[in-house]
Structures are given as C-alpha cells and as structure tokens.
Amino acid sequence: MKRTTLPQMDEILGKEFPCLNHGFVRLIDYMGSDEAIVQAARVSYGKGTKQVSQDRGLIRYLMRHHHTSPFEMVEFKFHCKLPIFVARQWIRHRTASVNEYSLRYSEAVKEFYIPDSDVIRLQSQTNRQGRSEDSVPPEKQKKVLQILEKHNQQAWSDYQEMEQSGLARELARIHLPVSLYTEWYWKIDLHNLMHFLRLRLDPTAQYEIRVYADIIAEITKAAVPISWEAFEDYILFSKTFSKLEFEVLKKALEKLEEQPDWQKLGEEAGLSKRESTEFIDKLKS
C-alpha cells in the first residue's frame, strides 16, 4: 500500500513560516489524513466509507463523543525556532517527541527575542499570569526595550568571554537569558496537537506562543480539513456548562410559554439530523 500524500502539504514541506523576530515553524513530515482517521475507526470490520459526506459524519461523531485513538493515527513533525521562555511553556505539553538544540554540544547563536513596541503591556489586574490590553506610554516602552537590549548584550559578552577562556560550554551557557532562541524537532499526533491548540490559541494564552499556534493551526487545517471543522465546532469554539449551570438553563427553558422547534433550529444552524437529535436529548437530560 502506498503512503498517503497530500499535494497541499507536500508543497509546504520544509518551508519556513516566520514567527516573532527570529523564529519560524517548518513542517518536516506528516503521516495520514482525514481518511486515515476513518480507516482507523472502521478497522473492526475492515471497510472504509466511499462518500466524503459519510466520512465527515463519522469524524464529527468521533470528535463530539471524545474518541481519541483514531485521531492519534495522524502525525506531524515540525522544526521550530523559538525563544527559550516560549519553549518552556510549550514543553508542558508532554505527549510529544522532542529533540532540542543543545548548548552543551553546540555554541549559542546570538539571537534574542525583542518584543515589538505594540505588544509591550502592563500586568493585567484580572489575570495574574497575563498582560493587560492597556497601552504603555511610549517613554516606558522605550525604557523596557533599552533594558532588554542592554541585558542581552551584556549576557552575550559574558558568554563569549567565558567560552573563549576555555570554560565548559555547559557552564558558560547557564546565565544566558530566556529570550535567547532555541530550536527543536517536535513530533506529535493529531489528538494531542488539538489539545495543544485548544489551549495555545486561546486569547488568554501568552501572545508569543499564540503566534506559533496560529501558524501550526493553519498547517493542521490544510492537512485534515474535515477533522479541523469538527475540532472548531466541538472543542475550540464550544462552551460547556457545569451541572448547576445546566439546571439553571433547563429551568429557564421550562418557563417559556412556547417551546422552540429545536429540530428546525438545529437544521438551520447546520446540524445534521443525528446531531440535532443528540442536541435535543441533551436538553431533555
């Protein structure tokens, strides 16, 4: 059996998609497509569907009922260049294979992340781990950039001095700032990639990692458009209710003088007949 290839993916293999001031994302390799997900789901009786509409219905069913292993059959391998502080957030997603550029074996490259002025913000008063949307006065922006540049230059000068003196690279590197760029190969399956994207595309995620997530999202969408549509509908843009919240919702609906035609509303929204039925069952549960 020949390996499945996708023309739109082969066209971008190895292409650098710029990120921040020195970074990039490159797709190195991929395995599988929407078809691979369908094949995996139907392996119990060895048949695949012949119509795209049937494949779409099955993939959407798998997504909304949280079947994970069929989506793990699709994999992507990326080459990423990113600031160390972004890498430290990224690596929290542990269900991937990673091999990173080593400063024990190799010399550092003089490339540091410096934010654009328009993304320099004050600390948010409502989100302890994020920045606010309030603009910083130009004079403060300038001061921040001066501090960052000065620190980077001093750190690099010290690094070179220690390395040229014969100090071991594993020691010379330890004071370099987390704004320094690193590189890695990152291989991950589609299920875990969607989890990564659900968190890192969120508006509350740090801007710098969202830049990378945005590009990876576009690459993923091109590879598995049907799965991506289902991901957007059932995970990325979906909302959940707690038990208590759902009780409030049900009580509010019960007080309506005239019950809506849920089936019709579902169809108008683009739900299939089966999806509409499941939606109504949720409201009645």
CA distance 268 to 212: 35
- Nearest to 210, CA basis, from 218, 219, 201: 201
CB neighbourhood size of 161 (10 A): 11
Q: Residue 79: what residue type?
A: H
200 is catalytic: yes
- H helices within the chain, ranges in order? 7-10, 34-41, 52-64, 84-90, 138-164, 169-172, 190-200, 207-223, 225-231, 243-254, 262-268, 273-284
The helix-helix angle for 52-64 and 273-284 (nearest 10°) equals 20
Active-site annotation holder among 128, 200, 210, 274: 200
Write out the catalytic residue numbers.
200
